[in-house]
Amino acid sequence: SFEDLVAYAERQIATSREYLAIESLEFLARTGRVGRIKAAFAGALSVRPIVGHGGDGAITYAKVRSEDAAIREVASRVAEHPGEGRLVVLLEHTDNRKRVEEIGAILAAALPPDTEILYSPLSSTTSVHMGPGTWGVAVSRV
């Protein structure tokens, strides 16, 4: 029914998550989304934020020091995604599809065998703001 469809859509909106692993804050600084000094310090310390969307803007889920740490952090969050049902994971990429496919294989090994893994490029707007090397994972249960 229409009511069931609306309830399902609202549940998906409330429980789906997206984790974006940003390689560098350089492009966010260029567009004014992050201060230049903050971006310079993050670069000097090799800090890579993992961010997502919240009701009032961006949420920083974690700050890590390497791509391997980012993969571990995201894999852990995806594996612990709340709710019932089969996981559906969408791996998103900018200019790095091959690397994201490698990350997908790592995630697949850490997730239940019935997990569906899909791939998609990030929007051009997201790519411009976050820069090359950015990748992300959107996760939901169906």
How far is the C-alpha of 99 from the C-alpha of 120, rounded, in Å? Answer: 13
Percent of the chain with pLDDT over 90: 51
Statement: residue 15 has pLDDT above 90: no
Q: Name the residue with tokens 């090397």.
A: 133
Amino acid 104: pLDDT: 95
Each residue's pLDDT tens digit, 52-75: 986 677 888 999 999 899 999 999
Each residue's pLDDT tens digit, 96-130: 999 999 999 999 999 999 999 999 999 888 888 88
pLDDT band at 23, cuts 50/70/90? Answer: confident
Amino acid 90: pLDDT: 95
Amino acid 18: pLDDT: 93
Cβ burial 116-139 (10 Å sphere, 16+ → b, else e): ebeeeebeeeebebbbebbbbbbb
